[in-house]
């Protein structure tokens, strides 16, 4: 790992972080506007327009419509590395129940055509506010750094599709290949004022798998005249767990969860079809391959063992919306952690556990350029709730919960200081 460079420039830059707050940028009104007005994946039109306008006014060269409603802002400031700062923009189909005065009352149409309530239940409003304020601070104090800052507003993270869309639309070819990629994500189990980090694997491969089962329907009293897809589904569900318990190394993370099963209409009717929906999680590509191949093998061979004919064998499909596992470059992590600790305090930057959730920020480091990336975890739990949780008096709302309500002022301030510190170090003259 590269040692942290404690130079006079860096020390002066860290002192600047506390004075770079934008007089014209009011973080809480900006955050509250974003929170009130979330937009679903692939529909982030108003959000993208606001970010584009704000960055353009700060001096960034802004391009809209990259990979859908993606926005790219580039600020060149002499010779030096390029740092990409990524933020995600989409909300979730969740009805907010926080009771906040700026709670979302927005509704939207899902891709299915269903009308739903919409909420920033994953902290993307925090991400956008931190990223924008950091960018504006750096744009205003260009004497403190040299190089190029690229900020991107990425759509459709919740669908695992936005990063892929922006890369496919020529993100690196059109705007340059960064030397470093930085991002952050809220953490619902860490108090506001603290930053969490993971070196190496942090978040998992995420695959969605559909299994369509075919059978022969009949009367529930005469099962010998039918081929029951529900019994087949039950057998498949139980056998799938042996993939994790008996085919994957015990210390290698892997998860198979059947999140949905649909079949039948009435007590005494054996249906002629059933459908399963699975989420599959892993870290290594080898483990992912084993799980996906094993799911198909178990589904088909269970059907054969139950006497289903070849024309009734299950169909297994893996969704294209695959999210690769997120790897934080250890050298970049060590350098970033040192910068953040100097900026916000040694005790406020702590190592946290890796998780089996997914984040498509990982794709920006999976291209042939292999750009080193680092996503930090931003604590957002208000102090009163954190203390009550520590006393065992309440559970903390998770990400994607209708009750998820960050402490915006302290969370955003901490995120801005941390991100600014890392960028200033990476772009030191």
The model's pLDDT over 357-383, given as tens digits with 9 standing for 90+, comes to 999 999 999 999 999 999 999 999 999
* Domains 8-203+325-426 and 205-318 alike in fold: no
CA dist 335 and 340 (Å) reads 9
CA dist 393 and 293 (Å) reads 45
pLDDT at 15 over 90: no
For residue 2, the model assigns a pLDDT of 34
Burial of 291 (0-12, 13-18, 19+ CB in 10 A): buried
Q: Which of 291, 289, 273 is nearest to 211 (CA)?
A: 273
For residue 362, the model assigns a pLDDT of 97
CA dist 159 and 92 (Å) reads 10
Binning pLDDT at 50, 70 and 90, where does residue 412 land? very high
**Domain-wise residue ranges, the chain:** 8-203+325-426, 205-318
SS (H, E, C) 240-293: HHHHHHHHCCCCCCEEEEEEEEEECCCCCEECCEEEEEEEEEECCHHHHHHHHH
Please, are residues 303 and 314 in contact by the beta-carbon 8 Å criterion?
Answer: yes
Binning pLDDT at 50, 70 and 90, where does residue 50 land? very high
Q: Which of 203, 202, 191, 198 is nearest to 414 (CA)?
A: 191
pLDDT at 85 over 60: yes
CA dist 314 and 236 (Å) reads 11
Binning pLDDT at 50, 70 and 90, where does residue 320 land? confident
pLDDT at 7 over 50: no
Question: Which whole number is the average pLDDT over 271-278?
Answer: 98
For residue 11, the model assigns a pLDDT of 44
Helices first, then strands: H and E counts in the chain: 11, 18
pLDDT at 12 over 90: no
- Matching CATH number, 205-318, of 3.30.1330.80, 3.40.50.720, 1.10.3720.10, 3.30.70.360: 3.30.70.360
Please, are residues 10 and 426 in contact by the beta-carbon 8 Å criterion?
Answer: no
Q: Which residues of 209-240 are buried (b: 16+ CB within 10 A; e: fewer)?
A: bebebbbebbeeeeeeebbbbbbbbebbbebb
pLDDT at 19 over 90: no
Higher-confidence position of 13 and 147: 147
Residue 66, classed as helix, strand or coil, is strand
Query: CB 411: neighbour CB atoms within 10 A?
Result: 27
Burial of 326 (0-12, 13-18, 19+ CB in 10 A): buried
pLDDT at 23 over 60: no
For residue 275, the model assigns a pLDDT of 98
DSSP letter for each residue of 168-219 = HTTHHHHH---SEEEEEEEEEEEETT-EEE-SEEEE-EEEEEEEEEE-B-EE
Does this model's pTM top 0.85? My answer is yes
Q: Which of 301, 309, 221 is nearest to 268 (CA)?
A: 221
pLDDT at 149 over 80: yes
pLDDT at 45 over 50: yes
Please, are residues 195 and 376 in contact by the beta-carbon 8 Å criterion?
Answer: yes
Question: Which whole number is the average pLDDT over 21-46?
Answer: 90
Domain 8-203+325-426, CATH:
3.40.630.10
For residue 8, the model assigns a pLDDT of 42
Mean of pLDDT over the chain = 94
Question: Which whole number is the average pLDDT over 108-119?
Answer: 95
Q: Which residues are the active-site residues? A: 90, 157
Taking 3-state DSSP, the helix, strand and coil percentages for the chain, each rounded to the nearest 5, stand at 40, 25, 35
pLDDT at 325 over 90: yes
- pLDDT tens, 225-266? 999 999 999 999 999 999 999 999 999 999 999 999 999 999
For residue 237, the model assigns a pLDDT of 98
Binning pLDDT at 50, 70 and 90, where does residue 112 land? confident
Question: Which whole number is the average pLDDT over 313-328?
Answer: 94
Binning pLDDT at 50, 70 and 90, where does residue 24 land? confident
Residue 343, classed as helix, strand or coil, is helix
pLDDT at 6 over 50: no
For residue 4, the model assigns a pLDDT of 38
Please, are residues 234 and 263 in contact by the beta-carbon 8 Å criterion?
Answer: no
Question: Which whole number is the average pLDDT over 295-305?
Answer: 98
Binning pLDDT at 50, 70 and 90, where does residue 124 land? very high
């Amino acid at each position: 790992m590269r040692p942290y460079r404690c130079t006079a420039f860096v020390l002066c830059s860290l002192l600047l972080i506390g004075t770079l707050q934008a007089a014209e940028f009011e973080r809480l009104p900006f955050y509250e506007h974003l929170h009130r007005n979330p937009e679903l994946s692939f529909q982030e039109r108003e959000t993208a327009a606001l970010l584009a306008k704000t960055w353009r006014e700060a001096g960034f060269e802004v391009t809209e419509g990259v990979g859908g409603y993606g926005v790219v802002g580039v600020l060149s400031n002499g010779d030096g590395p390029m740092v990409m700062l990524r933020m995600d923009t989409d909300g979730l189909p969740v009805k907010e129940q926080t009771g906040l005065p700026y709670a979302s009352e927005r509704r939207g149409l899902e891709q299915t055509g269903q009308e739903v309530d919409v909420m920033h239940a994953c902290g993307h409003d925090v991400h956008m506010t931190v990223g924008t304020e950091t960018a504006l601070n750096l744009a205003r104090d260009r004497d403190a750094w040299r190089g190029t800052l690229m900020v991107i507003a990425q759509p459709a993270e919740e669908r695992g599709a936005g990063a892929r869309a922006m890369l496919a639309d020529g993100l690196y070819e059109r705007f340059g290949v960064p030397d470093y990629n930085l991002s952050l994500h809220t953490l619902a189990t860490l108090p506001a004022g603290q930053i969490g980090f993971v070196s190496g694997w942090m978040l998992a491969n995420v695959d969605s798998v559909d299994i369509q089962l075919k059978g022969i329907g009949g009367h529930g009293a005469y099962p010998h005249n039918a081929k029951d897809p529900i019994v087949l589904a039950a057998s498949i569900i139980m056998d799938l767990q042996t993939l994790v318990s008996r085919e994957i190394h015990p210390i290698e993370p892997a998860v198979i969860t059947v999140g949905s099963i649909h079949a039948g209409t009435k007590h005494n009717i054996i249906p002629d079809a059933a459908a399963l929906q699975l989420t599959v999680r892993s870290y290594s590509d080898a483990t992912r391959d084993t799980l996906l191949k094993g799911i198909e093998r178990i589904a088909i061979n269970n059907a054969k063992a139950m006497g289903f004919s070849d024309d009734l064998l299950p169909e297994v499909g893996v969704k294209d919306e695959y999210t690769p596992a997120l790897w934080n470059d250890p050298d970049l992590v060590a350098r970033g952690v040192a910068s953040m600790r100097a900026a916000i305090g040694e005790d406020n930057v702590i190592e946290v556990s890796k998780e089996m959730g997914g984040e498509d920020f990982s794709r920006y480091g999976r291209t042939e350029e292999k750009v080193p990336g680092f996503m930090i975890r931003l604590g957002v739990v208000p102090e009163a709730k954190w203390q009550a949780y520590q006393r065992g008096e309440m559970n903390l709302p998770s990400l994607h919960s209708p009750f998820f309500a960050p402490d915006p002022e302290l969370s955003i301030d901490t995120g801005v200081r941390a991100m600014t510190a890392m960028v200033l170090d990476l772009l030191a003259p």
